[in-house]
Structure 1
């Protein structure tokens, strides 16, 4: 799909609809052809007023002729209704629902395969908006938008063409009116479209901030940052109000102009008609028929103007969806490889995050032997987490190579890479599901007994057994019903069940009390047995026994070695160790 689609014309709308319809595009094409036939029949039915009224207003009225033309009108109207009815089969038979469902699945696949760096650049509220109302609005282009454009264009064009044959002066006046309305409508669309896109972005920001506000409400209450003091949310709401106000102003002016053009133009056409009747150059029957036709002529212009906001909503939704669908996954270099060995090596790796010029990692080189424990230590922002992200192929380095088992990570499919990685984060995310299903995420094919065995190895079987429904207890939104230590042990049970050969730990015990830390540390000891382990550590005492310690500072490897070797160097690591030992020695005397 193109990065931006603006279906302001039937052709653009039709192409957008075909793209969205996907495998159902033949049904969509049939629907559009039926709508074209329906509104062509409708236009021809109105044109029957010319001969019908001529028969009635003739010096010698012809009832038979009038009846014949009336019957022709009825047939055309019936044909139009028939075509419109079956044109809406796309909606009535549920095809449009299937299209929306498939589009959501495609977006879900895109979220699953897009680079993590790009995924993290989107706010949660923006993605939620695209996957929910964005999909609903985009499928409008399949039926409503295209059919409305057909309805707006075909009948007036037919009426003008036939009127040229009957009375070219009036037809020319109608054509001028139609031609003036087109640029005004484009002006209307331009202002309204910009406003809708700006409003959409502002609303997505509000949704993200509301979600963040609700999730962080306990913290906000504790710091008295609620109501008007909630700066982030209030700022987003004020911005949305400002954008919405400007959008309304930009929308109203063209609407007023369009309304004025339609009214003044129709009055002008009728005035010309009356003047021609007075001069005797226009038959009364023709004038009566034109009166009916002109009233029908004004409907599409008014309809199209009033539905501008609908078009703009569809445009904004399509733009967001096409932006998401156009994101390409990280390419897998040929030939694709499967991992057999699990040592890790960085060779002169340089990396900078998107839209940042400063490198987060600069010429980083090191090796992590298979089956050994390697610790990453250093101050916050030094690049430790960036190293673990590159191992997960969060993004590709600007320079250098990351290898696993001697294979360039670019040759490994994402699903094969993640199959061999287990990650235990400092901030554990549990889904609003049962304890059993949260652990089973590590291996969806695991039996209940295997899940419970992993829980026992993670030292969480005991507290799970005390829960109201045991393993079938719901953990609550984001695991809110669990303590920090309990959540950590559940996440470790999940990793044990996955049994991946490479394990990455992001300071899993940093925020725990002593009792929880001991339990979690026991669980970690079970998890990392015979694995290639990378652990980010701030508490140096927890990694003193590591096989290798990498000291990361300002995006570079400042030192590396065992605890003993680094203490002998008496540089950065030794200074950090001594500082932490002094903190442990602090003693606050009692009163």
Structure 2
């Protein structure tokens, strides 16, 4: 059970919530503690000021205005001090500490995403990640001081006022103080169901965000397939489900909230009635009763609605759950003393690998050697393990058994940033950013100057289509590179890889989805990219791998054959069956 789970209904007590919150705040936690302490002190001073109303009114209504002045000065002084402390505390927001804390929390989440095994990240939908990075971070931090201030004014201020009234009339003060155990009991009774509902609501929001993101990203495909309406209906069902959760939330909250509010207001009315009885019995000065009534009226509404403030605490809890779940994913281990390979041959040594959510291994006891400066093709049916093989070379995850090496060095012993520089990847589906041509290519080597970027782009045959763009090299390509054709996007990706100049290149058959003219241009660019490098090609069309130095045939996660094309076709086996099916 996570930190968020408490003994009652899975909801954390307030102190545990704030402990988790301080942990999320990182280096800004001390500043937040100071701000909360100042708010608590301000609430206590405000309560003390209210307690002084009793002697103030007694003196004023007793016909001795001069005697009332010191009490009036005390009320004003305490109220002024409370205002100063509250102003200082709010400086955590207004002075930028909150914005900086929000930024640093997002930065830590971003760093965690980079450290996580990518195969674990791929289990999560884009909208869910966005919800954690954007919505949950804001929900965790932006309302902290606001809700803390409301809670402290609703609880600490009247409690201190009640304590001060002990010196005026202890029976009335005790009656007023007795309201607080009732409020705390009602709040504790309400919170488990309230917290559970907040979690359901947060999950429904995350699902809807994911469905909206998925629909918008795939709208062009959906329209071309004539099923945009069908997917819109699916999105509508998701939004309808969110609406149902929201309606249920309001329905379930109405009764308990009204119960808590009514019980609190009735209790305060009972205190006022008790005070009135003591006045009629001659046991309490009417001026003191006036002070009690002021305190009662002042805090009737805040005390009655205190459970509404705790909804924000539950919202913070739900956000912390999602943030903690993301931060709890174990990162890939990093070697204390990293090593650097001197050569760039690749070896799989008895490798077994399984995805976290899969029922069986994606690779089973795979052993293979890919010589330096050679071209190795991975072939096999869908689901045979080709993509998993390539991902392990990039260390998207670590094998469950065995090891993958570059130049004889285990990938786990190579620093992550060094490994990133050793491997370039050109995917069949290219992701471009809504930035300039130069910026999209420069991702391959961020420190490269414009001249180096343009040289790589020309080697990838990009200059022809770039010259036709409205602003040339400074043209923003739109989300996903919408301004470019498939072949043009592929050449941008190859230019990235050329600029990066990594000794190992992985190609996810980038010409598979292109027309003949684009394929020829991209193939010329690829020829420039793979020269004198260790190249791995994920082959979907066997006709493209006839000249490979080595072909690995995968099936059900195992290497069932390996060799050159002519040798593999000459013997009975899986490769010849695939080749025969291709050539007829």
| Residues 486-511 of structure 1, C-alpha deviations (whole Å, 9 max, x = no match) | 11111011101101001001111111
Give 1:556 shift. Answer: 0.7
1:447 alignment partner in structure 2: 449
Match of 2:212 among 210, 213, 218: 210
Give 1:400 shift. Answer: 1.4
Aligned counterparts of 2:51 and 2:14: Cα–Cα separation in 1:
24
Give 1:436 shift. Answer: 1.4
1:348 alignment partner in structure 2: 350
Of the structure 1 ranges 286-295 and 29-38, higher mean CA displacement relative to structure 2 is found in 29-38
2:566 alignment partner in structure 1: 564
Do structure 1's residue 46 and structure 2's residue 43 form an aligned pair?
no
Number of equivalent positions: 579
Match of 1:235 among 231, 234, 237: 237
Q: Secondary structure at the match of 2:357?
A: coil
Do structure 1's residue 577 and structure 2's residue 582 form an aligned pair?
no
Contact 1:13 1:145 (8 Å CA) reproduced: no
C-alpha change, 1:234 and 1:97, in structure 2 (3 Å) is same
Aligned counterparts of 1:192 and 1:14: Cα–Cα separation in 2:
18
Aligned counterparts of 2:256 and 2:279: Cα–Cα separation in 1:
34
Aligned counterparts of 2:552 and 2:233: Cα–Cα separation in 1:
40
Aligned counterparts of 1:545 and 1:70: Cα–Cα separation in 2:
96
Q: Secondary structure at the match of 1:45?
A: helix
Give 1:231 shift. Answer: 4.5
Aligned counterparts of 2:387 and 2:394: Cα–Cα separation in 1:
11
C-alpha change, 1:475 and 1:229, in structure 2 (3 Å) is closer
1:102 alignment partner in structure 2: 104
Contact 1:436 1:472 (8 Å CA) reproduced: yes
C-alpha change, 1:398 and 1:480, in structure 2 (3 Å) is same
1:37 alignment partner in structure 2: 41
Give 1:394 shift. Answer: 1.3
Match of 2:522 among 503, 520, 523: 520
C-alpha change, 1:216 and 1:554, in structure 2 (3 Å) is same
Give 1:68 shift. Answer: 1.6
1:589 alignment partner in structure 2: none
Do structure 1's residue 139 and structure 2's residue 141 form an aligned pair?
yes
Contact 2:494 2:529 (8 Å CA) reproduced: yes
2:177 alignment partner in structure 1: 175
Aligned counterparts of 1:131 and 1:311: Cα–Cα separation in 2:
19
Give 1:384 shift. Answer: 0.5
| Residues 359-413 of structure 1, C-alpha deviations (whole Å, 9 max, x = no match) | 1111111111111111000000111101111111111111111111111111112
Aligned counterparts of 1:183 and 1:339: Cα–Cα separation in 2:
64
Of the structure 1 ranges 421-430 and 473-482, higher mean CA displacement relative to structure 2 is found in 473-482
Give 1:520 shift. Answer: 1.1
2:467 alignment partner in structure 1: 465
Aligned counterparts of 1:10 and 1:198: Cα–Cα separation in 2:
20
TM-score under structure 1 normalisation?
A: 0.93
Contact 1:20 1:142 (8 Å CA) reproduced: no
Of the structure 1 ranges 321-330 and 118-127, higher mean CA displacement relative to structure 2 is found in 321-330
Aligned counterparts of 1:10 and 1:156: Cα–Cα separation in 2:
19
1:587 alignment partner in structure 2: none
Give 1:239 shift. Answer: 2.0
Query: What does 1:170-569 align with in structure 2 at a 5 Å threshold?
Result: 170-227=172-229, 230-569=232-571
Query: What does 1:68-107 align with in structure 2 at a 5 Å threshold?
Result: 68-107=70-109
Aligned counterparts of 1:517 and 1:216: Cα–Cα separation in 2:
25
Q: Secondary structure at the match of 2:333?
A: coil
Q: CA RMSD of the aligned region, Å?
A: 2.1
Unaligned runs of at least 5 residues, structure 2: none
Give 1:415 shift. Answer: 1.1
Aligned counterparts of 2:470 and 2:160: Cα–Cα separation in 1:
73
Q: Secondary structure at the match of 1:307?
A: helix
